[in-house]
Amino acid sequence: MRPLLLLMAVVAALEAQQVADTAFRPPIEKPAYPAGKGPLVLIDEAHFNFHTATGRYLPFAELLRRDGYVVHESAKRFTAEALRAGRVLVISNALNEKNQKDWKPPHLTAFTGEEVAAVRDWVAGGGSLLLIADHPPFSGAAEDLGESFGVRFSNGVALNPKDRSGRLVFRRSDGTLRDHPVTKGIDEVATFTGSSFQVDAAGQPLLVFGPDVYSWAEQNDPKPLPVKGHLQGALLPFGKGRVAVFGEAAMFSAQLAGPDKLPMGMNAPIARQNPQFLLNVMHWLTGVL
C-alpha cells in the first residue's frame, strides 16, 4: 500500500470512532444576537457530509445557537430557491456518494455544476459561505466549488512529518496566525490533520503553514511536497458576499475520539481559543466584524 493510502486508512479508522462531546459548552460573555434572533445558518447535510448539525458538528451548531444564530440543517441540493432564506451556508466535508465508504481515489466532486453555479451566484448576491474541506477525499470533493471562488485545494494530507499526530498550532508569535479583525485577541489556533490550499489575490490569509509542514499527495512519488506559505484558513470577499475557507474540520468540532474518549477539536486543551475564533469567523461572515 502506498504511504498516503496507509496513512488515510489509519485516519479513517480513527475518525470512525469520533462522537460529539455534547457536554462541551464554552463561555460566551456577550452573545452577538438575542437568543433565536440572529441570522439563519444553513448546515449542509445533502452531500453525504461527514460533519452534520446533529452529528459530529452538534457542538458547532449549539455554540452558534448560544451566540444567537438560528441554525437549521439543509437536506436540499443547492438551488437559488433552497439558498434564498439563508444568511450563511456551512459546508463541512461533503462527499460524493461513491466515496462515502471508499476513501481511495479517485475522489469525485460532491456537487453538480448547477449546484456550484447556484452557490456562487448566491454568494455574489450577498450570501456568506463557510467552506470546510479536510484531507482526502474531502478536499477532492470540494475542488470544483473551491475553484469557482478562486480557491485551489491540494488533495493531500498536510502534516508535520516530525509529529504524525496531525495536530498543528498556528501562532501569532511565529506569524502562522495572521493579523486580522477575526484573529484579534487570539494568540493561537489548533487544527487536527487536514489539507492545504491557495487563494487568488483577493484572499485574506488567516492560517499559514510554516516550513515544517508537508503534503502527502496522490502521486506515484511517495515523497511529501512542501506547503510552506500554503493556507489552512482564509477569508475572501466575493461580489456582495463573503467566503471563509478552511482545510480542516475538527478544529470547529468538539469530539471524543477513540476508545479512551480523548478530546479532539474545540474541547482539546491545545484548542482553548478555537471557540472564540469560530465565533469571530461567523461574525465576519454576518457583518458583525
pLDDT digits (tens, 9 = 90+) for 231-261: 999 999 999 999 999 999 999 999 998 888 8
Please give the backbone phi and psi of residue 163, each rounded to the nearest 5 degrees, phi first.
-145, 90
pLDDT at 61: 98
pLDDT at 221: 47
How far CA 61 is from CA of 20, 25, 149, 244, 263, in Å, comes to: 11, 11, 25, 17, 18
Q: Which domains does the chain have, with CATH numbers?
A: 3-285 (3.40.50.880)
CA distance 143 to 123: 17
pLDDT at 5: 47
Entry pTM:
0.93
CB 14 within 8 A of CB 257: yes
CA distance 276 to 267: 12
How far CA 262 is from CA of 170, 191, 244, 265, 282, in Å, comes to: 21, 15, 28, 10, 27
Does residue 161 carry a pLDDT above 90? no
CB 178 within 8 A of CB 96: no
Instruction: Provide the pLDDT confidence category of residue 218 given band limits of 50, 70 and 90.
Output: low
Mean pLDDT on 40-56: 96
Residue 288 in 3-state DSSP?
Answer: coil
C-alpha cell of residue 205:
490569509
CB 222 within 8 A of CB 2: yes
Instruction: Provide the pLDDT confidence category of residue 3 given band limits of 50, 70 and 90.
Output: very low
Which tops the pLDDT comparison, 157 or 175?
175
From 265, 240, 57, 88, select the one nearest 166 (Cα to Cα). Answer: 265
- The residue type of 166 is G
